[in-house]
Amino acid sequence: MAQAKKDSHYISAKESRRIAAENRKITRAFEKKKARRNVNESEYLTKMADDGNIVEFDNLHTYFYTDVGTVKAVDGITFSIPEGSIVGVVGESGCGKSVTSLSLMQLVQGPAGQIASGSIRFKASDGKVYDVAKMPTAAMNKIRGKEMAMIFQEPMTSLNPVFKIGQQLDEVMLLHTPGATKEQAKARSIEMLGLVGISDGERIYNQFPHELSGGMRQRVMIAMALECNPRLIVADEPTTALDVTIQAQILDLLRDIKTKINGSIMLITHDLGVIAEMADYVVVMYAGRVIEQGTAKEIFDHPMHPYTIGLQKSKPMVNQSVERLYSIPGAVPNPVDLPNYCYFRDRCDRRCPACNGDYPEIRTVAGTHRVACHLYEPEDKGGAK
């Protein structure tokens, strides 16, 4: 392929055209498969590996086929969300957190973005287990929003500015509940506004998004997510755009909601403080892969991967004065051109000779604690596959 300019990050126009033509073939095949109608359920029904889970990501690969090459945004991640738990997914910006959650909702931006391989098993309320990675769009539309709902970072971009809050809330229910009347939808919407702590729901129902504060808009988004009684809420940086005090309120609300709907939450954030406060399990991502995972206690009491340790050191602490916050040197590698050794090697302050070998396998170190780092491999292995 690009043998002549191997060291260069630039590619020629001719090369780019060739990649584009190849990508078109690949993405067209994916799109065609997803657009099929009346697909037999057996094609995408499956079984959970562990019945206690509501979601299982299994070696998921989600790629963007761009004209400059394939962006491996999610490159083989495996983790699960046990029923009734909050799983926190943490990592720097660009490490693939959003793409992971969008894959689960089948909302990755096509045609460039595609689930290239792997499985995402989801257990619905009727006990059926769907493999989201194999579902055609028509089938997915039936469970998205109803069984699983998503809350985004910036509510203003998810709410339509020209429609009143009430209309937008009603629409969700009307869409997913055949035969529901307008009156029923309105009653449900006001009930949901109450559930998210908005006492004057009747008034908010008749307002436009721009008339509300950021915190109120995020509450409305949560109300919208709850409209159809989902069992799983995916919250992608739900508090990043909010003030600290409002952030605490929204986190309290999410915790409260989880108990009320008896559901599970996948909570995505770059903020370890939020994870520490909320999560039962933690998944640490780096450059499209899971590099460490375990219970919150395991991760916070015994962080093992030098990246996780770095993240913790760079977190501000109350009652502790520091001259300067630690920051991990360097940057995440380019996802188009990932090296075959550990992606963190060049930023790591604990690199050893084994780090020049292959990318380290993820392995269990204790209980549910897993880490992908050569430091914790059996001594004689030193980077072997």
Ligand X SMILES: Nc1ncnc2c1ncn2[C@@H]1O[C@H](COP(=O)(O)OP(=O)(O)O)[C@@H](O)[C@H]1O
- Residue ranges that bind ligand X, judged by CB under 6 A: 64, 66, 71, 73, 91, 93-99, 109, 112-113, 335
Shortest spacing between CB 97 and Mg ion, in angstroms: 5
Kindly compute the dihedral angle of the four CA atoms of residues 183, 184, 185, 187, in this order, to the nearest 10 degrees: 90
**Of these partners, ligand X, Mg ion, none, which one is at the site of residue 109 (CB under 5 to 8 Å by kind)?**
ligand X
**Of these partners, ligand X, Mg ion, none, which one is at the site of residue 104 (CB under 5 to 8 Å by kind)?**
none
Shortest spacing between CB 62 and ligand X, in angstroms: 8
Nearer to Mg ion, 46 or 98 (CB): 98
Q: How far apart are CA 2 and CA 4, in angstroms?
A: 6
Ranges of beta strands (E only) in the chain are: 45-46, 53-66, 69-82, 86-90, 113-123, 129-131, 148-151, 232-236, 264-269, 281-286, 289-295, 363-366, 369-371
The answer to the question of residue 269 lying near Mg ion (CB under 5 A) is: no
Nearer to ligand X, 109 or 117 (CB): 109
Q: Tell me the one-letter amino acid at 35.
A: A
Kindly compute the dihedral angle of the four CA atoms of residues 347, 304, 290, 76, in this order, to the nearest 10 degrees: 90
Shortest spacing between CB 359 and ligand X, in angstroms: 17
Nearer to ligand X, 68 or 365 (CB): 68
Nearer to ligand X, 190 or 274 (CB): 274
**Of these partners, ligand X, Mg ion, none, which one is at the site of residue 66 (CB under 5 to 8 Å by kind)?**
ligand X
The contact pattern for Mg ion, residues 54-83, with x = CB under 5 A and - = no contact, is: ------------------------------
181 contact partners, CB below 8 Å, separation of at least 6: none
Shortest spacing between CB 249 and ligand X, in angstroms: 24
Q: How far apart are CA 251 and CA 235, in angstroms?
A: 11
**Of these partners, Mg ion, ligand X, none, which one is at the site of residue 165 (CB under 5 to 8 Å by kind)?**
none
Asked if 33 contacts 136 with a C-beta cutoff of 8 angstroms, the reply is yes
Piece of 98-106, 201-209, 360-368, 376-384 that binds Mg ion (CB under 5 A): 98-106
Number of H helices, E strands in the chain: 12, 13
Share in percent of the chain as helix, strand, coil (round to 5) = 40, 20, 40
Tokens representing residue 72 in the block: 């491996």
Nearer to Mg ion, 255 or 270 (CB): 270
Shortest spacing between CB 74 and ligand X, in angstroms: 7
Q: How far is CA 65 from the centre of its chain?
A: 20
Nearer to ligand X, 114 or 168 (CB): 114
361 contact partners, CB below 8 Å, separation of at least 6: 372, 377, 385
**Of these partners, Mg ion, ligand X, none, which one is at the site of residue 64 (CB under 5 to 8 Å by kind)?**
ligand X
Shortest spacing between CB 49 and ligand X, in angstroms: 25
Nearer to Mg ion, 98 or 168 (CB): 98
Interface residue list for Mg ion (CB under 5 A):
98
